[in-house]
Structure 1
Amino acid sequence: MPRISAATIGEHRAQTQDRILQAVSRLSRVQGIDAISMTDVAHEAGITRTVLYNYYPDKAALLLAFTERVTHYFIEAYTAQLPPSASPSERLRAFVRLQLAGLVAHPHPGAAGLSASLGPDAYQQLADHVAPMQRILVEILDSGAASADFHLQDVEATARMIMAVIGAEREPLISGRVSVEAAEEIVSGFVLRALGSAS
C-alpha cells in the first residue's frame, strides 16, 4: 500500500479521504455508483478494506460523502461561470449544463434506484445533501419571475419538474447516445419555452 506523507494526522486523514472519494469518482464513470462495492473502492484507492471502513462504515456513508463533495464542486463551478449581471435565462442554462455534465462525470441511478439501494433513511440524507443545488434552481426561478422573464405559478413545483426533465436525459447521456451540448440545447430550450422566456 502506498505511503501517504503528511505533516499531521489530520492532513493524513484528509489525504486518505480525498483518495477514497477520487476512487469513487473514477469507478462511477466505469461501472456506475450503484454497482460499486466497498472492495472496489478500497482496491481503487490503494488501501485495505479495514482502512476504508475506518473512514466510512458502509456504502451509504461513502455515497453521502461523495454526494456532498460533488454538490460542493457544482456550486463552485456554477458560481465561477456566471457574472453577477447574468440574466435568469443565462443562469438557468448554466444550471442545466452543469447538471447534465454531472450526470456524465458521476453516473448514478435515478432517485428510485438510489432509494432502493440505500434505504429510505440514507436516501433522505442524500436528498438533504443535494438540497443546496435545488435552492440555486429555486433562486433562479424566483429572480426570473420577479423580472417577468419567467411566467410560472409555483416555484417549488416548477423546480421539481425541471429536475425531472434533466433526469430524463440521464440514460441517453450515460449511454453516449447524446452529448452534453445536445442535451443542454434540448432541455434548456424545452424549459425556457415552458417558462415563457424569449431567451
Structure 2
Amino acid sequence: MPRITAPTVAEHRSRRLEALLEAGRELVTEGGPDALTLANLAKRVGLSRPSLYEYFRSREDLAAAIVEDELPRWTALVAESLGGEAPLAEKLTSYVQMQLELMRDGRHAAAVALSAHALPEDARQRIRDGHQRLLEPLVDTLADAGVAEPRLRAMLIQGIVESANRLPVPDGTALVAVTVDQILHGIDTK
C-alpha cells in the first residue's frame, strides 16, 4: 500500500499532482518537449509508470495538464499588474513588463513548447479558453478607461507584446518602454 504523506488522501493526491506537474515542467525546461514522457517522469519522481496512470492517461494528458495548471497563475498575475487606481499608461506599462517577464520565465517556455505539440482537441480547446480568460483583465481595464473596441485592442496589445518578446533585445527596460510607447502612441511621424 502506498504511503500517504498528508493528513488526508485528497491532500496527498493534490500534493503529488503538484509535484508531478513541477517535475514535468522541469523535464521540458531541461530537455525540450520530447523529454516529457511518462517513463522519464516516473524516473524523475520515483514512481512506477502504472502509478502515474492514476494522474495522467497519456503523455498528451500530462502535457495538457501542465499548460492548464499554469493558466490560472498567469491570469492572476495579469490581473494584479492591471489593478489599482493608476492611470492607464502606468497600468499598461506594468502589464507589458509583467507579460515580458512571464514570457521569458522557464515555466512559460515549457508550457508554450508543450502547446505546440500534438494535443487532443479537447485539451487544445481548454487551453484556448484559458488564454481567453487571460485576456479578460486587459479587456476590462481598457473598457473601464473608456477605450473603444476594448476586446479588439486587447488582442492587438497582446500581439505587440508577443512580438516584442521574440526580439533579441538585451535591455528589457528599453523594450518595455518602446513597446508601451508603440501601444499608446503608434509611430509619431512629426
TM-score where L is the length of structure 2: 0.76
1:127 aligned partner:
128
The Cα shift of 1:137 comes to 1.5
Given that 1:34 and 1:117 are in contact with CA atoms closer than 8 Å, whether structure 2 keeps it comes out as no
Given that 2:157 and 2:183 are in contact with CA atoms closer than 8 Å, whether structure 1 keeps it comes out as yes
Residue by residue over 1:41-70, the C-alpha shift from the partner in whole angstroms, topping out at 9 and shown as x without a partner, is 333333332222211212343333323332
Spell out the pairing of 1:16-27 with structure 2 (5 A cutoff): 16-27=16-27
Given that 1:92 and 1:140 are in contact with CA atoms closer than 8 Å, whether structure 2 keeps it comes out as no
Partner amino acid, structure 1, of 2:92: L
The Cα shift of 1:13 comes to 0.2
Given that 1:67 and 1:129 are in contact with CA atoms closer than 8 Å, whether structure 2 keeps it comes out as no
1:159 matched to 2:148: no
* Alpha carbons of structure 1 residues 7 and 82: separation in structure 2 relative to 1, 3 Å: same
* Alpha carbons of structure 1 residues 139 and 57: separation in structure 2 relative to 1, 3 Å: same
The structure whose Rg is larger is 2
Aligned residues: 185
Distance, in Å, in 2 between the alignment partners of 1:63 and 1:182 is: 34
The Cα shift of 1:32 comes to 4.0
Structure 1: runs of 5+ lacking an equivalent: none
Task: Give the share of equivalent positions with the same residue, in percent.
Answer: 24
The Cα shift of 1:78 comes to 4.1
The Cα shift of 1:126 comes to 0.8
**Structure 1 segments of 4 or more deviating over 6 A?**
none
Spell out the pairing of 1:1-199 with structure 2 (5 A cutoff): 5-33=5-33, 36-80=36-80, 84-105=84-105, 106-108=108-110, 114=115, 117-144=118-145, 146=146, 152=148, 154-172=149-167, 178=170, 180-194=172-186
Structure 2: runs of 5+ lacking an equivalent: none
SS in 2 for 1:168: helix
TM-score where L is the length of structure 1: 0.73
